[in-house]
A and B are shown apart, each in its own frame.
Chain A
Amino acid sequence: MITAAVAPDTSVNGVALTIVIVLFLGVTVIGFMASRWRRAATMDSLDEWGLGGRGFGNWVTWFLIGGDIYTAYTFIAVPAAMFATGAVTGFFAVPYTIVLYPIIFIFMSRLWSVSHRHGYVTPADFVGGRYGSKSLSLAVAGTGILATMPYIALQLVGIQAVLEVMGIGGTGNIIQKDLPLFLAFAVLAAYTYSSGLRAPALIAFVKDILIYLVIFVAVVYLPAKVGGWDSIFSAAEAKMTATNEVTGVAQGSFIPGPGQYMPYWTLALGSAMALFMYPHSITAVLSTKNRNVIRRNASLLPAYSLLLGLLALLGFVAIAAGTMPIALDGTVNPQLAIPQLFEDFFPAWFAGIAFAAIAIGALVPAAIMSIAAANLFTRNIYRDFIRPEATPKQEAKVSKLASLVVKVGALVFVLFLDRTLALNFQLLGGIWILQTFPAIVFGLYTRWFHRWALLAGWAVGMTYGTWTAYNVLNPVTGKHFGGAVAELPIFGGRVYIALTAFVINLVIAAVLTVVLRAMKAPEGVDRTEPSDFLADAGDPRVSDLPPLTGDEAAGSTDRRTGRPRER
């Protein structure tokens, strides 16, 4: 169905919808069948949700970590930002994913080693063991859960965009209007609740293959259809330099001007530092089979960055193609730009495949994120603070409920925050999660920082970050949390709030450390030793990690011989 790009097409795209449903059911069946093939002793233990055998080599890890980047972030949010406001809000994702790998190269192998020596499964475990501080570990766990919510929200927006372009949803009351969103939520919730991590982990392979197929076709076929890159870039330049009637300033940025250098690089650096603080990313890294897999991967993973860059440019392709991302209620929603572009230019059957790829590509990470956050709750909050003597069955139950709560939290973000630029969800999560960076990453190298100082720095960073982000108003809609870039105090210039909050956090932690040391405040017991940070698989004291929660014995039948991977 090729539609003229003038009026919104409100009819249901039958062919595309059928293909989406068929593919969706297909991968679900594959997922469940495959999990039966490697059946666990019991589904009542959360070992099934553990670290997936901890035997992942280069190839699997490549997919695994790639999955952290290839979410609705990549193919909905970033192109939408490019479509709406151009380079500074969108293309920073390219330097972000370039500097990401050297950063993880530097510290992730140390985290791997110390975790495998002591059986740490979550970042909060490590912080608790390193600093002997339960409150610091609680702060890290709580932040992980909170920051995951807007990231899941972004995935929900992605699924919603696809459903809406296919013509599902409508106008009228709030339930009808947000029907695609509630549908997305219901599918995600049912999916995670019933299958745990098994099905999504296996489906992730199918998901990646579908996505590569769609990306390759899209970046090869579409630019030629709209007149080549020359005309794409001139169309984008014309749109970005035009004046926006509402704000009275330029619509966006085509090439950043001097005032935009700071936002651009701070957004890139802040996002890169934040990504591997998320619970689901750390779990993925810890599930590799030895400490160097992650480094080896850091040199292979940039292939993803290239595709991400080309996908971002699809936002400009949509500008050149004159795509009209009009929602069913008649408002303009840039999130619909890419699905709408696909619907306009692809035959219905291929649009269906593309939609399915996007929807599954959002669903799988969302499921994995919500499970990771739920595990964090069960392991570091429920078991540490509420019921230390809980049985594996109770823990499994709590985890399932917690994963539901996390998703409801995500839904709240979508409903009450400004949705016109979904990228802001991820950037908001980044503001929060980055405040755990000093405790985790600096803790890998030094015990110099005092645990109470780190806690104080964290508290101030969180407060400053949240307050400042709240006060950013969207220039068009006037809503709070309208962006993630704000004025830098004292020095001036506009920067990504996460990075400002991080620096404040660090300064406070350092100053208070000096003070607390002078006062001889108790430092807490450090259960690690220097050699722990260099340990590798096969060392005498290195062992597989315990399951995230639950009884070690239950369901641990084939821990060594590859069970389904974790994500």
Chain B
Amino acid sequence: MEEVPLNNVKDDLDDLFADETEAEAGAPRDTDKWKVLIVDDEPGVHDATILSLMDVVFDDKELTFLQACSGLEAKALIEANPDCCIILLDVVMETDDAGLQVVRHIRDVLKNGLVRIILRTGQPGQAPEDKVIMQYEINDYKSKNDLTKQKLFTAIISALRDYRNLLTIDGTKRGLEQIIEAFPSLFEVQSMDDFISGILTQLSSLLRLDESSIYHLDSSFLAGSSSRNIIIAKGTGAYGQHSGRLASEVLEPGEFEMLLRAEAEKKSIFAGNSCAVYFKNKTSSYNMIYINSHRQLSEIDRNMVEIFCNNVSMAFENIEKHKIQESMKQAKDIQISMLPVNFSDITPHGIDLYTFMQPAREVGGDLYDFFFIDGTHLCFTIGDVTDKGVPAALFMAVTKTLLRAVAKLNTNPGEILRIANGDLCKDNEKSMFVTVFIGIIDTVTGRCSYGNAGHNPPYIINGSGEVKAFEPADSPPLGIMEDIEYQSGELTFSRGDTIFLFTDGVTEAMDIADQLFDEGRLEAVLSENRGKASKAIVENVVSRLLEFTTSAVQSDDITILCLNWKG
């Protein structure tokens, strides 16, 4: 093997190119050229190859040459230059199969499947074409006798074309893989701030598909447009310091123009090194990402950015939903914690009380409550706020608190309802209202006074199993009209009598054929369960209700309060 000082050859070539390019304003960087590695232990082959190919321009890019004189050098050079496009590879160098070892190294160790390898041998007997092309992942096989300029040119152009196409496919594949990898992490993010940072990080790494290209950190920012002003939500690179500022102040007029166009046309705009990506967020809101890259954005980049942003829209919606779900869960917990469940605390007072509540959604508009006003008087209420969801839940919370507060100062149910109604009517723009039944039982004597504001009448079940409904309410629900008088009624419990309070979610529960559960079915279950403990009665009503509705969707909150006076 002959020693050829590699650097000398390189210097010579640099001089050669320098002469040609001197007139140009700025010589293109090596990264803008196709890298061709010549591996041969004969210096003459190097020179001949370079002379044949130095004028080649493919896709507006020239060739640049790397040179190695041994298999060992070749391995080191290809490792340092993974973006090398073509290797013109000699077979017999320091060993008879040095070139073939280089192929193995590139494909199996470096896992570089992109570089096109053209095997050139002066001794075909050492590496028969059929055998080699079958056993080694090479792309072409040439005899050194074929080293005519024309044939080499054709082989190189064809290899470059393959390489370029492979690069496109590979780039697309890598980009897609990255998008797929990026999303689980983006979906997990729970704060909008982290999410935006995540998008920008992923996007800038996505645009570095061509890893060998040397360019500075891309600058990008995500902007939201809430009013007419486009405000930078978060930026990277040159825009890193501009969060919260107006995009019109930060960008050059031409760049800002692009953002405005993207906004007006509701689509992403690509021009040269920049792009303004538009993506819809939800029905009315949208976001834009502005990217200023230090290189021309390619077709692959565009496709990747578009795919990425489509997915971002989905993730945005997801995070919004997640936020709502989270807060609904919290609201549900708060609401449930407001409702008393200390049933055993009141059993020593001769009261067997049990409740059930199942909102149709996360939060509901039903309420119940029970508490002692003094040592012997237990107040119990049930209520149903119009509609469901958050507004109903808020109204429910206000009502429950208000009733408890008023009941601590008054022992007359009608009076309690009158005062609560007055308060609820104030500033009730949404015309929310709540039906309420309130009772106060003397746990010693069984005497019970009650008031009803538009609530469906409860049932009294006596010891013999007779189920009797209260008279319908003669006053409207709370919250509708001020200055309404609410009457108090009175009854006396016999030992073992049970009062069963419920909301219309029970009687208006529907089966799959839209049949109502209705009073009839409820009365039947109550009659069957006479004399049982409150808990058993409630559980039996609920299980009968479930049997009835089966798979039908629950459309209204269901609430039950059952009180048995043992005396």
**A in complex with B:** no
